[in-house]
């Protein structure tokens, strides 16, 4: 090919979570009995009340471009949700509705980052943050966390990192977290917010798993700590995970007026607006969808309890009990550091398990955590049971390959 691919495009790696998922889907389509633990989406159907609203929108010919930032009824519904769930008073004009929270984060990064700015990201992290930061020519700076601190950063660690940097600009906080399932409590958020205020760091608070939280823990949005913190925070959320609407593509950013206004300009020249039908459906999701969320949450909790307790019974596997989202991330370092032929890292292990035991799990290296693998429990309990059997067998067999 005569056209050279840009340097920017060349630096972007494919999303490993989507790669595993599509490989598993392909194997399934070929008739291979694969158990897929790779999914980053609920396995439930979108609730009927939401689907019916979309059908109505089509029948009413609500099928044209809308204004860039989203129809006003939807932005009002989001503002009402922010007040109800997060105790945040937000002007609908300070909300930008985008085609997915992924797009929301990208547009905010494009709005605030200059080349060589540094973006702080607690690690393990959601795969797309790194690529998105790189796409705006900024630098991701990772703040490592471990199971012993429940995979959470603290204020001291954050401040030390900020002191060591030249152009620290943004902190991306994700609670509940993908992939670890850790959830920050109010006191922890207060300390982190104080450091960000002191050093003029914008917080991008990704709260997409807000509704999927267990054990009676209450989700706290860092933006709700104080008016000052709210002015330094862009809250990101959406309908994908809570209402089983991943394919509908709708997320939003709520934050300081100037940032939202500029991000909206970027959206106007890229994706224009979210599809009109999804916007109508999302109003119903936000206003009436919470009963369906409770049902899904209950089921996720049962699967989590089963999966994590079984994982912790497998020899030399340790798994943190996730407090939110629908992922479990066991430490499998024993199997990576034991001189097993062909298995030196989490990618090797996942490839081996997929090829020989027909289970798809995501290598921890995708999240900056090579000693781990990620299971999504957005799959049936029967699948989890059978998949765990294969996982345990796979690990047992690989130990017999010690060199
Ligand atoms: C942490 C996190 N943020 C954002 C997203 C993107 O969600 P959306 O479907 O709204 O783009 C995901 C999806 O996997 C996620 O895990």
Of 132-141, 251-260, 273-282, 332-341, least confident by mean pLDDT is: 332-341
Ligand 1 proximity of 208 Cβ (cutoff 6 Å): yes
CA of 208 to the centre of ligand 1 (A): 6
Residues 209, 210, 212, 213, Cα dihedral to 10°: 120
CA of 402 to the centre of ligand 1 (A): 39
Burial of 227 (0-12, 13-18, 19+ CB in 10 A): exposed
Q: What are the residue ranges of CATH 3.90.1150.10 in the chain?
A: 7-45+291-398
Beta-sheet strand order (sheet of 139-144): 95-98, 251-254, 233-238, 202-206, 168-174, 118-123, 139-144
Strands (E), 94-167: 95-98, 118-123, 139-144
Ligand 1 proximity of 327 Cβ (cutoff 6 Å): no
pLDDT band at 39 (very low <50, low <70, confident <90, very high): confident
Helix (H) / strand (E) containing 171? strand 168-174
Q: What are the residue ranges of CATH 3.40.640.10 in the chain?
A: 64-288
- For residue 17, what pLDDT is reported? 67
Tokens of 296: 């899904």
pLDDT band at 16 (very low <50, low <70, confident <90, very high): low
CA of 356 to the centre of ligand 1 (A): 30
Atom 14, ligand 1: which residue's CA is nearest? 40
Helix boundaries (H) for 98-146: 101-112, 127-135
Tokens of 222: 């860092």
Give Cα 290 to chain centroid, integer Å.
Answer: 20
Atom 13, ligand 1: which residue's CA is nearest? 40
Q: Which of 240, 246, 248 to mutate to test the pocket of ligand 1 (most atoms within 8 A of CB)?
A: 240
For the chain, the residue count is 403
Mean pLDDT score of the chain? 95
- Answer for the pair 370, 349: CB distance below 8 angstroms, yes or no: no
- Answer for the pair 254, 231: CB distance below 8 angstroms, yes or no: no
Alpha carbons 84 and 47: distance in angstroms, whole number: 21
Quick one: fold of 7-45+291-398? 3.90.1150
Alpha carbons 192 and 29: distance in angstroms, whole number: 46
Closest CA to 322 of 151, 129, 207, 142: 151
CA of 251 to the centre of ligand 1 (A): 9
- For residue 104, what pLDDT is reported? 98
- For residue 403, what pLDDT is reported? 62
CATH number for the region 64-288 comes to 3.40.640.10
């Amino acid at each position: 090919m005569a056209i050279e691919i840009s340097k920017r495009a060349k630096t972007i790696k494919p999303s490993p979570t989507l790669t595993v998922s599509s490989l598993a889907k392909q194997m399934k389509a070929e008739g291979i009995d694969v158990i897929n633990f790779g999914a980053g989406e609920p396995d439930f159907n979108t609730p009927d009340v939401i689907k019916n609203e979309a059908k109505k929108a089509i029948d009413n010919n609500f099928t044209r471009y809308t204004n860039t930032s989203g129809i006003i009824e939807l932005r009002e519904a989001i503002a009402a949700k922010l007040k109800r769930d997060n105790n945040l008073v937000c002007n609908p004009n300070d909300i930008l509705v985008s085609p997915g929270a992924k797009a929301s984060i990208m547009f905010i990064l494009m709005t605030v980052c200059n080349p060589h700015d540094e973006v702080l990201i607690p690690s393990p992290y959601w795969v797309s943050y790194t690529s998105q930061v790189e796409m705006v020519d900024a630098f991701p700076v990772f703040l490592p966390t471990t199971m012993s601190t429940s995979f959470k950063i603290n204020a001291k660690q954050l401040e030390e990192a900020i002191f060591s940097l030249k152009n620290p600009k943004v902190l991306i906080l994700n609670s509940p977290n993908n992939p670890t399932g850790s959830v920050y409590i109010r006191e922890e958020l207060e300390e982190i917010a104080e450091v960000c205020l002191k050093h003029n760091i914008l917080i991008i608070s990704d709260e997409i798993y807000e509704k999927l939280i267990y054990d009676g823990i209450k989700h706290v949005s860092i933006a709700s700590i104080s008016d000052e913190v709210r002015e330094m925070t862009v809250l990101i959320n959406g309908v994908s995970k809570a209402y089983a609407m991943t394919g509908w593509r709708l997320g939003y950013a709520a934050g300081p007026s100037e940032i939202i206004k500029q991000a909206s300009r970027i959206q106007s020249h890229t994706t224009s607006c979210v599809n009109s039908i999804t916007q109508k459906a999302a109003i119903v999701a936000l206003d009436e969808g919470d009963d369906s969320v409770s049902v899904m949450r209950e089921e996720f909790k049962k699967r989590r309890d089963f999966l994590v307790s079984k994982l912790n019974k497998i020899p030399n596997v340790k798994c943190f009990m996730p407090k939110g989202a629908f992922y479990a991330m066991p430490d499998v370092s024993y199997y990576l550091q034991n001189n097993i032929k062909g298995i030196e890292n989490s990618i090797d292990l996942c490839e081996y398990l997929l090829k020989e035991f027909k289970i798809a799990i995501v290598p921890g290296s995708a999240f900056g955590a090579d000693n781990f693998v990620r299971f999504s429990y957005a799959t049936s309990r029967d699948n989890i049971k059978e998949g765990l059997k294969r996982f345990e067998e796979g690990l047992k067999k690989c130990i017999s390959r010690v060199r």
